[in-house]
Structure 1
Amino acid sequence: MRRAPEEKQRDPERTKARIVQAALEEFAAKGFAGARVGEIAARAGVNKQLISYYFGGKEGLYQAINTRWQGEESAFADHGATLAELVAGYVRANSERRDFGKLMLWQGLTDDGPPDESFAEDMRRDVEQLRRRQEAGEFPADLDPAAVLVALFAMTAAGISFPQLVRAVCERDPASPEFGAYYAEQVQRLVAHLGDVPAS
């Protein structure tokens, strides 16, 4: 049975999406340096030449994953929400998209992966947004917004970075939706309390 022309046109997009998902899983499991293009191709069920054709190689795939994260982030990161709600949204996103969090942990632990010039710029922009939230009273004036950002990053990824701690003290599976919902609610409360504490 012959496929309609529009179905043929969609095939490359589906193939690219499969490759990006396979790359995300491989990078999350082994880091950028440990991941192999052949393994990514095998996971995706494609010839590895297609990875070069569509993405130009491993670095292009890594960038495609970053682009995918940014697209997903725009759907859950409501910058009009309170800081507590925003941070809770990141906790839920990390719980539901654990491979993205693992990828960032690999990058932090090994400092591998291609340089991402836009990352530092994005983080400086986030610090400025936190500074504005601080001026609006969402957290005390004696805290450095840069340090707050670092702490919030660590807090939102705790279910991924410290699974053994979660199992020991919360007696929950850190990969479960139940833990994600529970921890997001607790982090939201914690961050909301920052606005209740006057500067010393």
Structure 2
Amino acid sequence: MDKPSRRAPVERRRDPERTKRRIAEAAKAEFSAKGFAGTRVSEIAARAGVNKQLISYYFGGKEGLLKALTADWQGKESTFAGTSPPPTLPELVRGYVTATVRDRDLARILIWGGLQDDGEEDSALLRDMRDNVEDLRRRQAEGEFPADLDPAYLLLMLFAAADAGAIFPQLVRAICGDDPASEEFGERYGEQLARLLRHLNTDKS
């Protein structure tokens, strides 16, 4: 039982970034399988093969790990959402679908967050979603979709649609005959959603 604690300082000196990545990947797998509330720090440490004290040392505990994973997702999001010029709405949604299929664990963590929701307001999430709604309002004014659609509810529909492969893998297999974790499904489904959104484009010029 003493061996992990003797090794911990050595791991920090030897390759701290590698250790942090192992912990983050282990946390992502555990959160994906059990949700944030159902995951124990000791289970993350065991999966990562490290002393659980390192989780506090590097991340400040479970909450810090969740924040780190959220930041990782936001970084991936910027690779397809933050391009210049900005992507069209169909391209943006197709990018979300591809990202979700490639990293289903992160998508499942978001789903677990909804299932375990306690009603407490998340100010960072609220700001992010308000920014997304404002972006849709701008797109609506530019003719990307009709004026009779509410941008807030459209955003909610797009999130649900983009995450469908992670939310309903059994339906993907039953309806489409696809592997919901495959890149082929992500490409086909993302393209179909993009085509649907192109039909909403009111700019005929």
Task: Give the TM-score of the pair, scaled to structure 1.
Answer: 0.90
Q: Take 1:16 and 1:116, find their aligned partners in 2: how far apart are those partners?
A: 26
2:169 equivalent to 1:138? no
Which secondary structure does the structure 2 equivalent of 1:178 belong to? helix
Q: Which residue identity is paired with 2:170?
A: Q
Structure-2 residue corresponding to 1:64: 68
In terms of mean alpha carbon deviation, does 73-82 or 122-131 score higher? 73-82
Q: Distance in 2 between matches of 1:21 and 1:13?
A: 12
* In structure 2, C-alpha distance between the alignment counterparts of 1:168 and 1:112, rounded to whole Å: 32
Deviations 1:123-171 (A, max 9, x none): 0000000000000000000111000100000000000101121111111
Structure 1 residue 21 corresponds to structure 2 residue 25: yes
Partner amino acid, structure 1, of 2:128: D
Counterparts in 2 of 1:162 and 1:21: CA distance versus 1, 3 Å: same
Aligned residue number for residue 32 of structure 1: 36
- Check conservation: 2:143, 2:203, Cα contact below 8 A: no
User: Which residue of structure 2 lines up, in the alignment, with residue 92 of structure 1?
Assistant: 98
Q: CA deviation at 1:62?
A: 0.8
User: Identity across aligned pairs (percent)?
Assistant: 62
User: 1:53-91, CA deviations, whole angstroms, 9 ceiling, x for partnerless residues?
Assistant: 111111111111111111111112246011000110000
What TM-score results when the alignment is normalised by the length of structure 2?
0.88
In structure 1, the residue matched to 2:5 is: none
- How far apart are residue 113 of structure 1 and its match? 11
Structure 2: 5+ residue stretches without partners: 1-11
* Structure 2 Cα separation of the partners of residues 115 and 43 of structure 1: 31
Number of the residue aligned with 2:179: 173
Structure 1 stretches lacking a partner, 5+ long: 1-7
Pick from 88, 99, 111: which aligns with 1:105?
A: 111
* Of 68, 74, 80, the match for 2:78: 74
**Cα displacement string for residues 87-121 of structure 1 (whole angstroms, at most 9, x for unaligned residues):** 10000000101011000000011116996421110
| Worse-superposed segment, 58-67 or 68-77 | 68-77
